Amino acid sequence: MKLYLKYFAIHLKSTMQYKASFFMTVTGSFLTSFTVFLGIFFMFQRFHSVAGFSYEEVLLCYGIMLMGFSVAQMFASGFKVFDSMIANGEFDRILCRPRNEIFQVLAFRIDFVRIGMLLQGIVMLWYALVKCPVDWTFPRALTVALMVIGSSVLFSALFLLDGSVAFFTLQGLEFMNVFTYGANEHGKYPLSIYGKGMLTFCTFVIPYALVQYYPLTYVLGRSDRAWYMLLPIIACLFVVPCWIVWRIGVHRYKSTGS
Amino acid sequence: MIEVKDLKKTFKVARREAGFGEAVKALFHREYELIHALDGISFSIGDGEMVGYIGPNGAGKSSTIKILSGILTPDSGLCTVGGRTPWKERRAHVKEIGVVFGQRSQLWWDVPVIDSFELLKEIYTIPAGTYKKNLSELTEILDLSKIVKTPARQLSLGQRMRCEIAASLLHDPKVLFLDEPTIGLDAVSKLAVRDFIKRRNKDHGTTVILTTHDMQDIEALASRIILIGKGRILLDGTLDDIRRGGEHIDETVAELYKKFDV
Protein backbone atom coordinates (compact mmCIF):
# COMPACT_ATOMS: atom_id res chain seq x y z
CA MET A 1 0.00 0.00 0.00
CA LYS A 2 2.83 2.34 0.85
CA LEU A 3 4.39 1.46 -2.45
CA TYR A 4 1.15 2.20 -4.25
CA LEU A 5 1.07 5.63 -2.65
CA LYS A 6 4.59 6.22 -3.95
CA TYR A 7 3.48 5.31 -7.42
CA PHE A 8 0.47 7.53 -6.93
CA ALA A 9 2.68 10.47 -6.00
CA ILE A 10 4.87 9.94 -9.06
CA HIS A 11 1.85 9.78 -11.35
CA LEU A 12 0.50 12.94 -9.82
CA LYS A 13 3.83 14.68 -10.32
CA SER A 14 4.06 13.47 -13.91
CA THR A 15 0.53 14.62 -14.65
CA MET A 16 1.18 18.00 -13.12
CA GLN A 17 4.09 18.49 -15.51
CA TYR A 18 1.46 19.20 -18.11
CA LYS A 19 -1.06 21.24 -16.17
CA ALA A 20 -2.85 22.90 -19.06
CA SER A 21 -3.28 19.64 -20.88
CA PHE A 22 -4.50 18.00 -17.70
CA PHE A 23 -7.20 20.53 -16.97
CA MET A 24 -8.36 20.61 -20.55
CA THR A 25 -8.66 16.84 -20.68
CA VAL A 26 -10.49 16.77 -17.35
CA THR A 27 -12.94 19.31 -18.72
CA GLY A 28 -13.30 17.24 -21.85
CA SER A 29 -13.92 14.11 -19.84
CA PHE A 30 -16.55 15.96 -17.82
CA LEU A 31 -18.25 17.33 -20.92
CA THR A 32 -18.32 13.98 -22.68
CA SER A 33 -20.27 12.39 -19.89
CA PHE A 34 -22.30 15.58 -19.52
CA THR A 35 -23.68 15.16 -23.04
CA VAL A 36 -24.84 11.71 -22.05
CA PHE A 37 -26.64 13.32 -19.16
CA LEU A 38 -28.22 15.81 -21.53
CA GLY A 39 -29.40 12.91 -23.64
CA ILE A 40 -31.21 11.46 -20.67
CA PHE A 41 -32.52 14.87 -19.67
CA PHE A 42 -34.06 15.67 -23.04
CA MET A 43 -35.53 12.25 -23.37
CA PHE A 44 -37.33 12.64 -20.11
CA GLN A 45 -38.68 15.99 -21.28
CA ARG A 46 -40.75 13.98 -23.75
CA PHE A 47 -41.36 10.70 -22.01
CA HIS A 48 -41.88 10.86 -18.34
CA SER A 49 -40.76 7.41 -17.56
CA VAL A 50 -38.81 4.62 -19.16
CA ALA A 51 -40.24 1.18 -18.49
CA GLY A 52 -41.62 2.47 -15.23
CA PHE A 53 -38.49 4.26 -14.05
CA SER A 54 -38.62 7.98 -13.45
CA TYR A 55 -36.00 10.58 -14.38
CA GLU A 56 -34.52 10.69 -10.88
CA GLU A 57 -34.37 6.93 -10.66
CA VAL A 58 -32.53 6.65 -13.92
CA LEU A 59 -30.08 9.31 -12.79
CA LEU A 60 -29.47 7.39 -9.60
CA CYS A 61 -28.75 4.31 -11.63
CA TYR A 62 -26.49 6.07 -14.12
CA GLY A 63 -24.67 8.05 -11.42
CA ILE A 64 -23.72 4.82 -9.71
CA MET A 65 -22.57 3.14 -12.90
CA LEU A 66 -20.64 6.19 -14.03
CA MET A 67 -18.83 6.40 -10.71
CA GLY A 68 -17.89 2.75 -10.88
CA PHE A 69 -16.78 3.09 -14.47
CA SER A 70 -14.66 6.18 -13.86
CA VAL A 71 -13.00 4.67 -10.79
CA ALA A 72 -12.08 1.63 -12.87
CA GLN A 73 -10.91 3.85 -15.74
CA MET A 74 -8.75 5.79 -13.36
CA PHE A 75 -7.10 2.96 -11.46
CA ALA A 76 -7.21 0.00 -13.83
CA SER A 77 -6.23 1.83 -16.98
CA GLY A 78 -2.88 0.02 -17.03
CA PHE A 79 -4.79 -2.91 -18.50
CA LYS A 80 -6.20 -0.71 -21.22
CA VAL A 81 -2.71 -0.06 -22.55
CA PHE A 82 -1.49 -3.53 -21.72
CA ASP A 83 -1.07 -4.60 -25.34
CA SER A 84 1.45 -1.81 -25.86
CA MET A 85 3.19 -2.73 -22.60
CA ILE A 86 3.82 -6.15 -24.06
CA ALA A 87 4.89 -4.73 -27.40
CA ASN A 88 7.42 -2.27 -26.02
CA GLY A 89 8.91 -4.63 -23.45
CA GLU A 90 7.52 -2.85 -20.43
CA PHE A 91 6.07 -6.12 -19.25
CA ASP A 92 9.54 -7.73 -19.34
CA ARG A 93 10.66 -4.99 -17.02
CA ILE A 94 7.75 -5.77 -14.73
CA LEU A 95 8.76 -9.42 -14.63
CA CYS A 96 12.27 -8.32 -13.61
CA ARG A 97 10.96 -6.75 -10.44
CA PRO A 98 10.18 -8.49 -7.19
CA ARG A 99 6.53 -7.52 -7.04
CA ASN A 100 3.22 -8.95 -8.10
CA GLU A 101 2.57 -8.46 -11.82
CA ILE A 102 -1.03 -7.30 -11.51
CA PHE A 103 -0.04 -4.81 -8.88
CA GLN A 104 2.65 -3.40 -11.11
CA VAL A 105 0.34 -3.08 -14.09
CA LEU A 106 -2.22 -1.31 -11.91
CA ALA A 107 0.45 1.01 -10.59
CA PHE A 108 1.91 1.59 -14.04
CA ARG A 109 -0.82 3.96 -15.06
CA ILE A 110 -3.23 6.08 -13.09
CA ASP A 111 -5.48 8.07 -15.31
CA PHE A 112 -6.20 11.18 -13.30
CA VAL A 113 -8.14 12.90 -16.04
CA ARG A 114 -11.05 10.56 -15.35
CA ILE A 115 -11.69 12.72 -12.36
CA GLY A 116 -13.90 14.80 -14.63
CA MET A 117 -16.09 11.82 -15.28
CA LEU A 118 -16.07 10.83 -11.63
CA LEU A 119 -17.16 14.32 -10.66
CA GLN A 120 -20.05 14.08 -13.07
CA GLY A 121 -21.08 10.78 -11.51
CA ILE A 122 -20.92 12.23 -8.02
CA VAL A 123 -23.02 15.26 -8.94
CA MET A 124 -25.59 13.10 -10.64
CA LEU A 125 -25.77 10.67 -7.78
CA TRP A 126 -26.05 13.45 -5.26
CA TYR A 127 -28.87 15.08 -7.19
CA ALA A 128 -30.70 11.78 -7.50
CA LEU A 129 -30.24 10.96 -3.83
CA VAL A 130 -31.88 14.22 -2.88
CA LYS A 131 -34.67 14.10 -5.42
CA CYS A 132 -35.61 10.44 -5.36
CA PRO A 133 -38.71 9.77 -3.30
CA VAL A 134 -36.93 7.16 -1.29
CA ASP A 135 -37.06 6.66 2.41
CA TRP A 136 -33.31 6.61 3.08
CA THR A 137 -32.74 3.95 5.66
CA PHE A 138 -29.29 2.76 6.59
CA PRO A 139 -29.50 -0.52 4.60
CA ARG A 140 -30.55 1.40 1.51
CA ALA A 141 -27.69 3.88 1.79
CA LEU A 142 -25.34 0.97 2.34
CA THR A 143 -26.70 -0.69 -0.78
CA VAL A 144 -25.88 2.37 -2.86
CA ALA A 145 -22.33 2.34 -1.49
CA LEU A 146 -22.01 -1.37 -2.27
CA MET A 147 -23.29 -0.77 -5.78
CA VAL A 148 -20.60 1.85 -6.39
CA ILE A 149 -17.89 -0.41 -5.02
CA GLY A 150 -19.24 -3.45 -6.82
CA SER A 151 -19.39 -1.71 -10.18
CA SER A 152 -15.85 -0.35 -9.74
CA VAL A 153 -14.59 -3.85 -9.09
CA LEU A 154 -16.62 -5.34 -11.91
CA PHE A 155 -15.41 -2.81 -14.47
CA SER A 156 -11.82 -3.26 -13.26
CA ALA A 157 -12.19 -7.02 -13.66
CA LEU A 158 -13.36 -6.47 -17.21
CA PHE A 159 -10.34 -4.28 -17.93
CA LEU A 160 -8.16 -7.04 -16.49
CA LEU A 161 -9.83 -9.51 -18.84
CA ASP A 162 -9.45 -7.06 -21.71
CA GLY A 163 -5.73 -6.72 -20.93
CA SER A 164 -5.25 -10.47 -20.64
CA VAL A 165 -6.51 -10.90 -24.19
CA ALA A 166 -3.30 -9.20 -25.32
CA PHE A 167 -1.35 -12.28 -24.20
CA PHE A 168 -3.13 -14.34 -26.80
CA THR A 169 -3.56 -11.95 -29.70
CA LEU A 170 -0.69 -9.50 -29.21
CA GLN A 171 -3.12 -6.74 -29.89
CA GLY A 172 -6.05 -5.84 -27.69
CA LEU A 173 -9.33 -6.83 -29.18
CA GLU A 174 -11.72 -4.05 -29.90
CA PHE A 175 -14.65 -6.34 -29.38
CA MET A 176 -13.87 -6.44 -25.66
CA ASN A 177 -14.99 -2.82 -25.56
CA VAL A 178 -18.52 -4.07 -26.03
CA PHE A 179 -18.34 -5.30 -22.48
CA THR A 180 -16.55 -2.35 -20.92
CA TYR A 181 -17.63 0.82 -22.70
CA GLY A 182 -20.77 -0.79 -24.00
CA ALA A 183 -21.82 -1.83 -20.53
CA ASN A 184 -21.29 1.66 -19.22
CA GLU A 185 -23.33 2.94 -22.12
CA HIS A 186 -26.39 0.79 -21.63
CA GLY A 187 -25.90 0.71 -17.88
CA LYS A 188 -27.43 4.18 -17.91
CA TYR A 189 -30.84 2.60 -17.63
CA PRO A 190 -31.94 -0.16 -15.30
CA LEU A 191 -31.16 -3.31 -17.22
CA SER A 192 -34.72 -4.63 -17.12
CA ILE A 193 -35.75 -2.19 -19.86
CA TYR A 194 -33.76 -4.19 -22.40
CA GLY A 195 -35.88 -7.28 -21.94
CA LYS A 196 -35.54 -10.63 -20.32
CA GLY A 197 -32.76 -12.07 -22.47
CA MET A 198 -30.44 -9.18 -21.79
CA LEU A 199 -31.20 -9.28 -18.10
CA THR A 200 -30.38 -12.99 -17.93
CA PHE A 201 -27.11 -12.40 -19.80
CA CYS A 202 -26.19 -9.58 -17.43
CA THR A 203 -27.03 -11.73 -14.44
CA PHE A 204 -25.21 -14.92 -15.23
CA VAL A 205 -22.58 -14.20 -17.87
CA ILE A 206 -21.24 -10.77 -17.07
CA PRO A 207 -22.95 -9.88 -13.82
CA TYR A 208 -23.80 -6.23 -14.37
CA ALA A 209 -27.31 -6.72 -13.16
CA LEU A 210 -25.96 -7.75 -9.78
CA VAL A 211 -24.45 -4.32 -9.20
CA GLN A 212 -27.19 -2.44 -10.94
CA TYR A 213 -30.72 -3.72 -11.52
CA TYR A 214 -31.40 -5.99 -8.54
CA PRO A 215 -29.97 -3.82 -5.77
CA LEU A 216 -31.57 -0.81 -7.44
CA THR A 217 -35.03 -2.33 -7.14
CA TYR A 218 -34.34 -2.85 -3.46
CA VAL A 219 -33.17 0.73 -2.99
CA LEU A 220 -36.21 2.10 -4.78
CA GLY A 221 -38.55 -0.02 -2.73
CA ARG A 222 -39.74 -2.06 -5.71
CA SER A 223 -38.54 -5.22 -4.10
CA ASP A 224 -38.58 -6.35 -0.49
CA ARG A 225 -35.75 -8.78 -0.88
CA ALA A 226 -33.15 -7.31 1.43
CA TRP A 227 -30.57 -9.86 0.30
CA TYR A 228 -30.41 -8.02 -3.00
CA MET A 229 -28.16 -5.56 -1.25
CA LEU A 230 -25.48 -8.23 -1.01
CA LEU A 231 -25.47 -9.01 -4.72
CA PRO A 232 -22.78 -6.42 -5.55
CA ILE A 233 -20.45 -8.36 -3.28
CA ILE A 234 -21.21 -11.55 -5.17
CA ALA A 235 -20.59 -9.72 -8.45
CA CYS A 236 -17.04 -9.09 -7.24
CA LEU A 237 -16.41 -12.81 -7.60
CA PHE A 238 -16.27 -12.12 -11.32
CA VAL A 239 -12.65 -11.13 -10.66
CA VAL A 240 -11.79 -14.79 -10.15
CA PRO A 241 -12.31 -16.06 -13.71
CA CYS A 242 -10.64 -12.92 -15.08
CA TRP A 243 -7.70 -13.53 -12.81
CA ILE A 244 -7.46 -17.13 -14.00
CA VAL A 245 -7.36 -15.98 -17.63
CA TRP A 246 -4.62 -13.55 -16.65
CA ARG A 247 -2.60 -16.31 -14.95
CA ILE A 248 -2.89 -18.50 -18.02
CA GLY A 249 -1.79 -15.55 -20.11
CA VAL A 250 1.27 -14.84 -17.96
CA HIS A 251 2.19 -18.50 -18.08
CA ARG A 252 1.89 -18.53 -21.82
CA TYR A 253 3.88 -15.33 -22.13
CA LYS A 254 6.70 -16.80 -20.11
CA SER A 255 6.88 -19.78 -22.39
CA THR A 256 6.67 -17.92 -25.69
CA GLY A 257 8.25 -14.62 -24.83
CA SER A 258 5.90 -12.76 -27.07
CA MET B 1 27.33 -18.86 -9.43
CA ILE B 2 25.40 -19.40 -12.64
CA GLU B 3 24.91 -22.91 -13.90
CA VAL B 4 23.30 -23.62 -17.24
CA LYS B 5 22.88 -27.11 -18.54
CA ASP B 6 21.48 -28.26 -21.86
CA LEU B 7 19.02 -25.42 -22.14
CA LYS B 8 16.56 -25.70 -25.00
CA LYS B 9 13.98 -23.31 -26.28
CA THR B 10 11.93 -23.54 -29.43
CA PHE B 11 9.63 -20.86 -30.75
CA LYS B 12 6.75 -21.32 -33.08
CA VAL B 13 6.77 -18.54 -35.61
CA ALA B 14 3.90 -17.92 -37.97
CA ARG B 15 5.07 -17.43 -41.52
CA ARG B 16 3.50 -16.47 -44.75
CA GLU B 17 4.54 -15.39 -48.18
CA ALA B 18 4.33 -11.77 -49.19
CA GLY B 19 1.28 -10.41 -50.94
CA PHE B 20 -2.34 -9.66 -50.21
CA GLY B 21 -3.69 -13.05 -51.22
CA GLU B 22 -1.33 -14.76 -48.85
CA ALA B 23 -2.33 -12.40 -46.07
CA VAL B 24 -5.95 -13.35 -46.52
CA LYS B 25 -5.05 -17.00 -46.61
CA ALA B 26 -3.10 -16.61 -43.39
CA LEU B 27 -6.23 -15.42 -41.66
CA PHE B 28 -7.69 -18.88 -41.97
CA HIS B 29 -4.75 -21.14 -42.07
CA ARG B 30 -1.38 -20.47 -40.57
CA GLU B 31 1.83 -22.20 -41.29
CA TYR B 32 4.26 -22.37 -38.49
CA GLU B 33 7.95 -22.70 -38.51
CA LEU B 34 9.89 -23.95 -35.54
CA ILE B 35 12.85 -21.83 -34.59
CA HIS B 36 15.38 -23.40 -32.30
CA ALA B 37 16.41 -20.31 -30.42
CA LEU B 38 18.43 -22.35 -27.97
CA ASP B 39 19.52 -25.78 -28.97
CA GLY B 40 21.09 -27.23 -25.89
CA ILE B 41 23.46 -24.71 -24.39
CA SER B 42 25.55 -25.26 -21.28
CA PHE B 43 28.00 -23.08 -19.43
CA SER B 44 28.86 -22.10 -15.92
CA ILE B 45 29.92 -18.72 -14.68
CA GLY B 46 31.62 -18.24 -11.35
CA ASP B 47 31.02 -15.44 -8.85
CA GLY B 48 32.70 -12.21 -9.80
CA GLU B 49 33.34 -13.16 -13.41
CA MET B 50 32.84 -10.77 -16.29
CA VAL B 51 31.58 -12.54 -19.33
CA GLY B 52 30.92 -11.18 -22.78
CA TYR B 53 28.05 -12.99 -24.41
CA ILE B 54 28.30 -12.39 -28.11
CA GLY B 55 26.82 -13.61 -31.33
CA PRO B 56 25.08 -12.28 -34.41
CA ASN B 57 21.50 -10.99 -34.34
CA GLY B 58 19.01 -13.73 -33.71
CA ALA B 59 21.59 -16.12 -32.34
CA GLY B 60 19.77 -16.64 -29.06
CA LYS B 61 21.48 -14.06 -26.89
CA SER B 62 18.39 -12.33 -25.62
CA SER B 63 16.57 -15.62 -25.13
CA THR B 64 19.36 -16.68 -22.82
CA ILE B 65 19.29 -13.39 -20.94
CA LYS B 66 15.51 -13.63 -20.64
CA ILE B 67 15.75 -17.13 -19.23
CA LEU B 68 18.48 -16.12 -16.81
CA SER B 69 16.45 -13.17 -15.60
CA GLY B 70 13.29 -15.22 -15.10
CA ILE B 71 11.19 -13.71 -17.89
CA LEU B 72 11.18 -16.79 -20.08
CA THR B 73 10.66 -20.45 -19.26
CA PRO B 74 12.79 -22.85 -21.31
CA ASP B 75 11.43 -26.05 -22.85
CA SER B 76 13.98 -28.21 -21.15
CA GLY B 77 17.31 -28.04 -19.40
CA LEU B 78 18.58 -26.80 -16.08
CA CYS B 79 19.53 -23.34 -15.02
CA THR B 80 20.36 -22.02 -11.59
CA VAL B 81 21.50 -18.59 -10.53
CA GLY B 82 22.82 -18.55 -6.99
CA GLY B 83 21.09 -21.87 -6.37
CA ARG B 84 17.69 -20.69 -7.61
CA THR B 85 15.85 -21.59 -10.75
CA PRO B 86 14.87 -18.17 -12.15
CA TRP B 87 11.48 -19.02 -13.62
CA LYS B 88 10.38 -20.99 -10.58
CA GLU B 89 11.25 -18.49 -7.89
CA ARG B 90 10.87 -15.31 -9.87
CA ARG B 91 10.46 -12.83 -7.07
CA ALA B 92 13.27 -14.11 -4.87
CA HIS B 93 15.49 -14.39 -7.91
CA VAL B 94 15.02 -10.90 -9.32
CA LYS B 95 15.98 -9.35 -6.01
CA GLU B 96 19.47 -10.66 -6.59
CA ILE B 97 19.90 -9.48 -10.14
CA GLY B 98 20.06 -6.18 -11.95
CA VAL B 99 19.10 -5.85 -15.59
CA VAL B 100 19.93 -3.00 -17.92
CA PHE B 101 18.35 -3.03 -21.35
CA GLY B 102 20.28 -0.50 -23.41
CA GLN B 103 17.33 0.23 -25.63
CA ARG B 104 14.67 0.62 -22.98
CA SER B 105 14.39 2.84 -20.01
CA GLN B 106 13.31 1.98 -16.53
CA LEU B 107 13.26 5.59 -15.40
CA TRP B 108 10.07 7.57 -15.19
CA TRP B 109 9.99 9.93 -18.07
CA ASP B 110 8.48 13.05 -16.56
CA VAL B 111 9.85 13.15 -13.05
CA PRO B 112 13.35 13.80 -11.70
CA VAL B 113 15.57 10.74 -11.74
CA ILE B 114 15.83 10.76 -7.97
CA ASP B 115 12.08 10.07 -7.76
CA SER B 116 12.56 6.95 -9.85
CA PHE B 117 15.31 5.87 -7.48
CA GLU B 118 13.06 6.44 -4.49
CA LEU B 119 10.39 4.32 -6.10
CA LEU B 120 12.86 1.53 -6.77
CA LYS B 121 13.85 1.68 -3.13
CA GLU B 122 10.26 0.80 -2.26
CA ILE B 123 9.86 -1.78 -5.01
CA TYR B 124 12.91 -3.70 -3.86
CA THR B 125 12.29 -2.86 -0.18
CA ILE B 126 15.84 -1.64 0.23
CA PRO B 127 16.57 -0.72 3.86
CA ALA B 128 17.03 3.04 4.31
CA GLY B 129 20.67 2.74 5.39
CA THR B 130 21.67 0.53 2.49
CA TYR B 131 19.83 2.76 0.05
CA LYS B 132 21.57 5.86 1.31
CA LYS B 133 24.97 4.24 1.18
CA ASN B 134 24.46 2.83 -2.32
CA LEU B 135 22.97 6.02 -3.64
CA SER B 136 25.82 8.19 -2.42
CA GLU B 137 28.37 5.74 -3.76
CA LEU B 138 26.72 5.49 -7.17
CA THR B 139 26.16 9.23 -7.32
CA GLU B 140 29.80 9.85 -6.69
CA ILE B 141 31.28 7.29 -9.06
CA LEU B 142 28.83 7.87 -11.90
CA ASP B 143 28.92 11.62 -11.34
CA LEU B 144 25.16 11.93 -11.00
CA SER B 145 24.89 14.71 -8.44
CA LYS B 146 24.03 17.34 -11.04
CA ILE B 147 21.57 15.26 -13.02
CA VAL B 148 19.45 13.36 -10.51
CA LYS B 149 17.15 16.32 -10.05
CA THR B 150 16.45 16.55 -13.78
CA PRO B 151 13.48 14.75 -15.35
CA ALA B 152 14.66 11.75 -17.35
CA ARG B 153 13.21 13.12 -20.58
CA GLN B 154 15.64 16.05 -20.47
CA LEU B 155 18.77 13.95 -20.08
CA SER B 156 21.14 13.12 -22.88
CA LEU B 157 21.46 9.47 -23.78
CA GLY B 158 24.81 9.19 -22.01
CA GLN B 159 23.49 10.79 -18.83
CA ARG B 160 20.42 8.61 -18.96
CA MET B 161 22.44 5.45 -19.34
CA ARG B 162 24.47 6.34 -16.27
CA CYS B 163 21.22 6.77 -14.37
CA GLU B 164 19.87 3.49 -15.76
CA ILE B 165 22.92 1.64 -14.51
CA ALA B 166 22.66 3.28 -11.11
CA ALA B 167 18.96 2.36 -11.00
CA SER B 168 19.69 -1.29 -11.55
CA LEU B 169 22.37 -1.40 -8.85
CA LEU B 170 20.55 0.30 -6.00
CA HIS B 171 19.50 -3.02 -4.50
CA ASP B 172 23.03 -4.48 -4.49
CA PRO B 173 22.46 -7.25 -7.01
CA LYS B 174 24.99 -10.04 -7.12
CA VAL B 175 24.57 -10.48 -10.85
CA LEU B 176 24.27 -7.72 -13.40
CA PHE B 177 22.94 -8.32 -16.90
CA LEU B 178 23.81 -5.65 -19.40
CA ASP B 179 22.08 -5.83 -22.73
CA GLU B 180 23.94 -3.52 -25.11
CA PRO B 181 24.74 -0.92 -22.47
CA THR B 182 26.77 1.31 -24.76
CA ILE B 183 24.46 1.37 -27.75
CA GLY B 184 24.24 4.84 -29.20
CA LEU B 185 26.61 6.44 -26.71
CA ASP B 186 29.35 8.90 -27.58
CA ALA B 187 33.00 8.02 -26.95
CA VAL B 188 33.26 9.76 -23.60
CA SER B 189 30.07 8.20 -22.24
CA LYS B 190 31.12 4.78 -23.48
CA LEU B 191 34.41 5.05 -21.62
CA ALA B 192 32.66 6.24 -18.49
CA VAL B 193 30.22 3.32 -18.58
CA ARG B 194 32.98 0.79 -19.20
CA ASP B 195 35.14 2.18 -16.42
CA PHE B 196 32.27 2.04 -14.04
CA ILE B 197 31.35 -1.55 -14.83
CA LYS B 198 34.93 -2.61 -14.37
CA ARG B 199 35.17 -0.83 -11.08
CA ARG B 200 31.90 -2.24 -9.83
CA ASN B 201 33.10 -5.74 -10.62
CA LYS B 202 36.37 -5.19 -8.81
CA ASP B 203 35.01 -3.45 -5.72
CA HIS B 204 31.81 -5.43 -5.19
CA GLY B 205 32.62 -8.69 -6.92
CA THR B 206 29.46 -8.29 -9.00
CA THR B 207 29.13 -10.93 -11.68
CA VAL B 208 28.63 -9.19 -15.00
CA ILE B 209 27.11 -10.70 -18.10
CA LEU B 210 27.28 -8.45 -21.06
CA THR B 211 25.74 -8.76 -24.49
CA THR B 212 26.91 -6.31 -27.07
CA HIS B 213 27.81 -5.84 -30.68
CA ASP B 214 30.50 -3.38 -29.75
CA MET B 215 33.68 -5.41 -29.64
CA GLN B 216 35.54 -2.66 -27.84
CA ASP B 217 33.17 -3.25 -24.93
CA ILE B 218 34.26 -6.84 -24.91
CA GLU B 219 37.89 -5.95 -25.23
CA ALA B 220 37.69 -3.51 -22.35
CA LEU B 221 35.52 -5.55 -20.04
CA ALA B 222 35.26 -9.23 -20.62
CA SER B 223 38.03 -11.56 -19.69
CA ARG B 224 35.91 -14.40 -20.94
CA ILE B 225 33.84 -14.72 -24.08
CA ILE B 226 30.96 -17.00 -24.87
CA LEU B 227 30.08 -17.04 -28.54
CA ILE B 228 26.64 -18.24 -29.49
CA GLY B 229 25.27 -18.88 -32.96
CA LYS B 230 22.17 -20.69 -34.19
CA GLY B 231 21.28 -21.58 -30.66
CA ARG B 232 24.52 -23.36 -29.86
CA ILE B 233 27.61 -22.34 -28.00
CA LEU B 234 30.40 -22.17 -30.52
CA LEU B 235 33.18 -21.01 -28.34
CA ASP B 236 33.86 -20.42 -24.69
CA GLY B 237 37.23 -18.98 -23.84
CA THR B 238 39.33 -15.91 -23.31
CA LEU B 239 39.91 -13.15 -25.74
CA ASP B 240 43.45 -14.33 -26.29
CA ASP B 241 42.19 -17.76 -27.30
CA ILE B 242 40.48 -16.38 -30.36
CA ARG B 243 43.09 -13.87 -31.30
CA ARG B 244 45.98 -14.68 -33.45
CA GLY B 245 47.58 -11.37 -32.70
CA GLY B 246 47.82 -7.98 -34.25
CA GLU B 247 44.54 -7.66 -36.03
CA HIS B 248 41.55 -5.57 -34.98
CA ILE B 249 39.04 -7.18 -32.65
CA ASP B 250 36.14 -6.58 -35.02
CA GLU B 251 37.96 -8.54 -37.71
CA THR B 252 38.64 -11.38 -35.34
CA VAL B 253 34.98 -11.67 -34.49
CA ALA B 254 33.82 -11.29 -38.08
CA GLU B 255 36.16 -14.08 -39.03
CA LEU B 256 34.79 -16.24 -36.24
CA TYR B 257 31.23 -15.68 -37.44
CA LYS B 258 32.32 -16.64 -40.93
CA LYS B 259 34.18 -19.69 -39.74
CA PHE B 260 31.15 -21.02 -37.89
CA ASP B 261 28.86 -19.90 -40.66
CA VAL B 262 26.43 -18.03 -38.41
Phi, psi of B229 (to 5 degrees): -155, 135
Cα B188-B193-B195 angle, rounded to 5 deg = 95
Q: Does A2 touch chain B (CB under 8 A)?
A: yes
Burial class (CB in 10 A: 0-12, 13-18, 19+), B209: buried
Residue A172: predicted pLDDT: 56
Burial class (CB in 10 A: 0-12, 13-18, 19+), A49: exposed
Query: Chain A 187-216, CB below 8 Å of chain B: which residues?
Result: none
Are the Cβ atoms of A96 and B69 closer than 8 angstroms?
yes
Contact yes or no for A194/A113 (Cβ under 8 A): no
Report domain extents, chain B. 2-106+168-260
Average pLDDT over residues A97-103: 94
In a mutational test of the A interface, the residue from B122, B170, B175 whose CB has the highest number of chain A CBs within 10 Å is: B122
Q: Could you report the per-residue pLDDT of A109-149, keeping only the tens digit for each?
A: 999 989 999 999 999 999 999 988 888 899 999 999 999 99
**Residue numbers in A near B72 (CB within 8 A):** 254-255, 257
Instruction: Write down the ipTM of this complex.
Output: 0.86
Round to whole Å and give the CA distance between A199 and B201: 65
Are the Cβ atoms of A98 and B123 closer than 8 angstroms?
yes
How many domains does one find in chain A? Answer: 1
Label residue B16 by pLDDT band (50, 70, 90): low
Query: Chain A 88-147, CB below 8 Å of chain B: which residues?
Result: 88-90, 92-93, 95-99
Find the radius of gyration of the CA atoms of chain B. 20
For the cut 80, the answer to whether the pLDDT of residue B247 exceeds it is no
Round to whole Å and give the CA distance between A213 and B13: 47
Contact yes or no for A155/A180 (Cβ under 8 A): yes
Which class is B2-106+168-260 in CATH? alpha beta
List CB contacts of B71: < 8 A, sequence separation 6 or more: A92, A95, A96, A254, A257
**Residue numbers in A near B69 (CB within 8 A):** 95-96
Residue A146: predicted pLDDT: 96
Amino acid at A24: M
Residue B129: predicted pLDDT: 95
Q: What is each CA distance from A185 to A61, A65, B180, in whole angstroms?
A: 12, 9, 48
For A141, the domain range is 2-12+20-256
List CB contacts of A123: < 8 A, sequence separation 6 or more: A63
Are the Cβ atoms of B63 and A97 closer than 8 angstroms?
no
Q: Could you report the per-residue pLDDT of B28-85, keeping only the tens digit for each?
A: 777 778 888 899 999 999 999 999 998 888 788 888 999 999 999 999 999 999 999 9
Contact yes or no for A65/A187 (Cβ under 8 A): yes
In chain A, which residue's Cα lies nearest the Cα of B126? A98
Residue A20: predicted pLDDT: 92
In a mutational test of the B interface, the residue from A17, A93, A95 whose CB has the highest number of chain B CBs within 10 Å is: A95
